Amino acid sequence: MKRLMDFSENERWRMSKLHNRENWENAVREGKADEKMLSLCNYINSTKNFFTSSGCAGRIMLLGLYGKGTKEESYFHRKWHRAVKFAELWRGLEAKSTGTLWFKMEPFIIHIGTKSLGDADSLLNVMRNAGVKRGGIIVAKKGKCIAEFVGTQSISLPVKKGAKILIEREYMKQILDEANSKLRKNYELLKRLEKAAKEKLE
């Protein structure tokens, strides 16, 4: 019985690792992977005991919300995975949109899979030591644990309702400066996280 269980745990782990590595390689090939995550995710997927199942290095966007503003009632009006210039942001703001547009700067998010709870627990420690404050194990099955880590830098405010822009150009400029600066800090944390992962995860 013991051997059977071990086999099915090992099997679950082997399948997860393989499946997620294929997904990652496809995403890279198709240019769908977030460039700023390439180096970190490539490393993690090259380890014996860990894989990445999804990741975004952080982004700035104009998010459209209508109705109750659920995920199904929202759309990306503009989305950038990099620092943004004021002119392109303002052009996006002036372009035709429906519902309420929110300006948002969101931090990185990454999901990392491991075989054992022990490995997941080590991962939590590595991340915390690297300065990542928000993270936890969101799946804890035998043979498959997944931990989620999220940065803490964020900005979120409504900027347009229907056809009416709610804020002054000058203020939008200040907000964008803050957002670009927070995105930079967020990338720095991601670099520290990558360094820690390369030193500690096998």
Q: Does the footprint of a second copy cover residue 57 (CB under 8 A)?
A: no
Q: Does the footprint of a second copy cover residue 148 (CB under 8 A)?
A: yes
CB of 2 to a second copy, least distance (A): 16
Q: Could you say which of 19, 129, 138, 195 contacts a second copy (CB under 8 A)?
A: 138
Q: Does the footprint of a second copy cover residue 137 (CB under 8 A)?
A: yes
Q: Could you say which of 60, 112, 147, 189 contacts a second copy (CB under 8 A)?
A: 147
CB of 75 to a second copy, least distance (A): 18
Joined together, the tokens standing for residue 182 give 């927070």
Joined together, the tokens standing for residue 50 give 């860990």
Question: What residues between 9 and 48 interact with a second copy by CB under 8 A?
Answer: none
Joined together, the tokens standing for residue 123 give 């991962």
* Calpha distance 190→188 (Å, rounded): 5
* Calpha distance 194→42 (Å, rounded): 10
Q: Does the footprint of a second copy cover residue 168 (CB under 8 A)?
A: yes
Q: Does the footprint of a second copy cover residue 86 (CB under 8 A)?
A: no
Q: Does the footprint of a second copy cover residue 135 (CB under 8 A)?
A: yes
Task: Tell me if residue 182 falls in helix, strand or coil.
Answer: helix
Question: Could you tell me how far CA 201 lies from the centroid of its own chain?
Answer: 20
- Whether 184 contacts 108, CB under 8 Å: no
Question: Could you tell me how far CA 56 lies from the centroid of its own chain?
Answer: 3
Q: Could you say which of 23, 155, 180, 200 contacts a second copy (CB under 8 A)?
A: 155
Comparing CA positions, the residue from 108, 113, 116, 120 lying closest to residue 190 is 108
CB of 29 to a second copy, least distance (A): 30
User: Where does this chain bind a second copy (CB under 8 A)?
Assistant: 117, 120-121, 124, 134-138, 140, 147-148, 150, 154-158, 166-168, 171, 174-175, 178
